[in-house]
C-alpha cells in the first residue's frame, strides 16, 4: 500500500513559483516510481502573503505548517516590498516562520559535480572533489537577538547564544560528521567577540561526547579565505547564524552557480527545505531560472524528513546523469553543454531520468 505524506508548499516570490513547479514535477514522478503519494497544501509567505493578507507570515500559514510532514519552499522578497517597515518585509516573514517551526539546524551542502568542475571560477584542481556540509545555527544569534533598534543617530543589534542553543547545533554537526569523514571545523570570531568565545567553549565540551571526531577551530575571516584557497580541507563546518549565512553563500560558488545548491532546515518538528538562493526578481517570469537547487532540496526532504532514502537517491542520480549528459540551464550553460534548457525543460529532463 502506498505511503502518503502531507507536504506544505510555499512558492513565495520572484522565481519561487517557477522553481517549485519543477520540483513538484520531480516529486510526482519519483512518487509514482516508489509508490509514494504526496498531498500538497499551498501556503503563502513573504511578498505574496503581504499582497494577499497584509502580513508576511499569515496565521493560516502558521497553522498549515504544523499539520504537514515537511515544507518545500521557493524564495521570497523583491524590490516591491523593500520600503515597508522591517516587521512587514518578506524577510521578516521567513525569520518568523523558521522560529515558529523551531528549525534551528540549517544544513547546506556544497558539492562540486565532476561534470561542472569547469563552471567554478577557481582552478579545477582546487574544486574537484569538494564535498562540504555547512551546519548553520538558524534561529539564534544576531538575527534574533534582543534588544535591537534603529534610531536617528545610532542603531544596534544584540548577538546572543545560550548554552542550550550552541549544544544542540553542535550535536547536529558532530552526528553528521560521524556519517562522513569525522571532521568538524567550528567557525567563530573568538578573538574579539565574547559570544564567540562562549560558542567555542561549549563546542569543546560537546566534542568530548564524540571522541572519534576531529575538532578544529577557525576564525571566520580566515575561514572565508580558506574556502577559496583550499576548500577540500573542510568536511563539516559548524557555525552561527550570521557567519553561516555568509560562508554558505561563498561555498555555493565553488560549484559554479548558487542555483545548484539546496538546504534543509531541521529541528524539533516539521522541517523546511529550500534552495539557498534568493527570489531573483530580475529574471522572474522569464523561465530561465535554474530549478536544480529546489529539486535537490526536495531530495533532501525525502531523505531527512521522510526517510525515503531510495526516492531521494533516485533524484540525486537523475541530476548527476542529466549533467553528465550535457544538459544545462543558462547560468551554467557555457560549461560542456550539449543542450541548453529553460527552467521547465530542465525539470522535464530530470523527470525523464527517474526510472
Residues with a catalytic annotation lie at 143, 189, 221, 245, 249
Which of the 8 DSSP states describes residue 50?
Answer: H
> Phi/psi class of residue 307: alpha, beta or left (left: φ > 0; alpha: ψ in -120 to 50)?
left
Other CB atoms within a 10 A radius of the CB of residue 247 amount to 23
With vertex at residue 69, the alpha carbon angle to CA 67 and CA 71, rounded to the nearest 5 degrees, is: 90
- Residue carrying C-alpha cell 516539521: 270
**Adjacent-strand bridge partners of 184:** 215, 236
- Residue carrying C-alpha cell 534551528: 104
Alpha-carbon distance 349 to 355, whole Å? 12
Residue in 2, 10, 222 with CA at minimum distance from that of residue 96: 10
Query: HSE-up of 217 (CA within 13 Å, CB side)?
Result: 15
Grid cell digits, residue 4:
502518503
Grid cell digits, residue 20:
517549485
Reported in sequence order, the residue ranges of 223-293 that DSSP labels E, i.e. its strands, are 236-239, 262-266, 271-275
**Adjacent-strand bridge partners of 327:** 339
CB 329 within 8 A of CB 343: yes
Peptide bond into 147 cis (omega under 30): yes
CB 183 within 8 A of CB 214: yes
Contacts 24+ apart (CB under 8 A), 162-169: 163/202, 165/104, 165/137, 165/140, 166/137, 166/198, 166/199, 166/202, 166/203, 166/206, 167/202, 167/205, 167/206, 168/104, 168/105, 169/104, 169/105, 169/135, 169/137, 169/238
Amino acid at each position: 500500500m502506498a505511503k502518503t505524506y502531507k507536504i506544505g508548499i510555499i512558492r513565495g516570490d520572484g522565481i519561487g513559483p517557477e522553481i517549485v513547479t519543477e520540483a513538484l514535477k520531480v516529486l510526482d514522478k519519483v512518487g509514482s516510481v516508489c509508490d509514494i503519494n504526496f498531498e500538497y497544501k499551498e501556503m503563502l509567505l513573504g511578498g505574496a502573503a503581504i499582497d494577499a493578507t497584509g502580513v508576511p507570515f499569515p496565521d493560516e500559514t502558521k497553522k498549515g505548517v504544523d499539520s504537514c510532514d515537511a515544507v518545500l519552499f521557493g524564495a521570497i522578497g523583491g524590490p516591491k516590498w523593500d520600503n515597508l517597515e522591517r516587521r512587514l518585509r518578506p524577510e521578516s516573514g521567513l525569520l518568523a516562520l523558521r522560529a515558529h517551526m523551531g528549525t534551528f539546524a540549517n544544513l547546506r551542502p556544497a558539492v562540486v559535480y565532476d561534470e561542472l568542475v569547469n563552471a567554478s571560477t577557481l582552478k579545477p584542481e582546487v574544486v574537484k572533489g569538494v564535498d562540504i556540509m555547512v551546519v548553520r545555527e538558524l534561529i539564534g544569534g544576531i538575527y534574533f537577538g534582543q534588544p535591537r533598534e534603529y534610531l536617528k543617530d545610532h542603531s544596534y543589534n544584540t548577538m546572543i547564544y545560550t548554552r542550550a542553543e550552541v549544544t544542540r547545533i553542535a550535536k547536529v554537526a558532530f552526528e553528521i560528521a560521524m556519517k562522513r569523514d569525522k571532521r568538524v571545523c567550528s567557525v567563530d570570531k573568538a578573538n574579539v567577540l565574547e559570544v564567540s568565545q562562549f560558542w567555542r567553549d561549549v563546542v569543546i565540551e560537546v566534542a568530548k561526547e564524540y571522541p572519534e571526531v576531529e575538532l578544529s577551530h577557525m576564525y571566520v575571516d580566515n575561514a572565508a579565505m580558506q574556502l577559496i584557497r583550499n576548500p577540500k580541507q573542510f568536511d563539516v563546518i559548524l557555525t552561527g547564524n550570521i557567519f553561516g549565512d555568509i560562508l554558505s553563500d561563498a561555498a555555493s560558488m565553488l560549484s559554479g552557480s548558487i542555483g545548484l545548491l539546496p538546504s534543509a532546515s531541521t529541528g524539533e518538528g516539521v522541517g523546511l527545505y529550500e534552495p539557498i538562493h534568493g527570489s531573483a526578481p530580475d529574471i522572474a517570469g522569464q523561465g530561465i531560472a535554474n530549478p536544480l537547487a529546489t529539486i535537490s532540496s526536495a531530495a533532501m526532504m525525502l531523505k531527512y524528513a521522510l526517510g525515503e532514502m531510495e526516492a531521494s537517491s533516485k533524484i540525486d542520480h537523475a541530476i548527476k546523469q542529466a549533467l553528465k549528459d550535457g544538459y544545462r540551464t543558462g547560468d551554467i550553460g557555457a560549461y560542456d553543454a550539449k543542450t541548453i534548457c529553460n527552467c521547465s525543460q530542465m525539470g522535464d529532463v530530470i523527470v525523464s531520468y527517474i526510472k
